Amino acid sequence: MATLRDIRQRIQGVKSTSKITSAMKMVATAKLKRAQTSIESARPYFRKIDFILSNLVSSLSDDYTHPLLRKTNEVKNIALVVVTSDRGLCGSFNTNLLKEAVRHSEELKMQYPGAVIHFVAIGRKGISFLKKRNYNVIAEFQGIFAQLNFEHTRQIVDVFAGKFIEGQYDKVVVVTNEFINVMRQAPSIRNVLPIENIEQTTQSNTSVDYIFEPSKEAIIDDLLPKLVDIKIWSALLESNAAEQAARRIAMDNATRNAKELITFLELQYNKARQADITKEMLEIIGGADALKSA
């Protein structure tokens, strides 16, 4: 049975842990506010790029080609970009994402027999997971979420974009956690290359004949590479916001559980203390009775 000293030490330990989790919750809340603002501000831009490209591509002739639109009947090499966090203490954020990444990689192997999956690991947790299990990791990026900026997107895209154009990769997919709201995040699988299924919009039946300078083809040639950058940038922003939301929830739950445990331990402490006092009183009374009868 635990002594009063043991219970008292455990109470102090849980209180110290509670202070840490409470502080981490406040930090995550502040970071979440900035990350949520970033992704919610960027989403309209992402949708607008899709809208512009859908209108331009749909108006071109069928013989228009671009390296980033290249499709092949035989998929031999696939780049799978996996976006995780550098730090833990965010619940099942990384576990669910990595399970989905592994599941999708197996699904791709079944869909394209003989295809080789090349992993691009973003985040220390993903890098550690994939390397320990001997997955084919061709590039890794750590620490980018500490100071997330668009330059990180270019570094990631440079790993696979050129090789896709050269035919070394036939397909590029990104697996990231999507920020749905502050209470919910979910793994999301997005096709990056070849660019396909550009969102078709039918907001108006009126066809407007614009004058393009220098030409539609030149504008699309310029926008398609930017769309690839945007897809990766979107995945990073989504993951960053989702991570902070997951960490806030995890730390809030940990703080609440710590308070409940402290209440339970204090009750145990008081019961043990009361039992010790009762025992001492009985010993005193027993001693007094013994003296009287002597």
Q: How far is Cα 32 from Cα 249, in angstroms, rounded to an integer?
A: 11
Catalytic residue among 90, 98, 198, 224: 90
3-state DSSP assignment of residue 46 = helix
- What is the number of residues in the chain? 294
Cβ(84)–Cβ(94) below 8 Å: yes
Q: State both tokens at 74.
A: 């035989």
Verify whether residue 90 is a known catalytic residue: yes
DSSP H or E run through 19: helix 4-58
Cβ(56)–Cβ(69) below 8 Å: no
Half-sphere exposure (CA, 13 Å, Cβ side) for 74? Answer: 4
Pairing of strands 171-181, 184-193: antiparallel
Cβ(135)–Cβ(125) below 8 Å: no
Closest CA to 35 of 168, 126, 166, 146: 146
Q: How far is Cα 142 from Cα 262, in angstroms, rounded to an integer?
A: 37
Peptide bond into 194 cis (omega under 30): yes
- Rounded to 5°, angle at Cα 186 from 171 and 178: 65
Cβ(235)–Cβ(16) below 8 Å: no
Angle, helices 150-166/216-293, rounded to nearest 10 degrees: 120
Q: How far is Cα 53 from Cα 2, in angstroms, rounded to an integer?
A: 69
Report, as residue numbers or ranges, the catalytic residues.
90
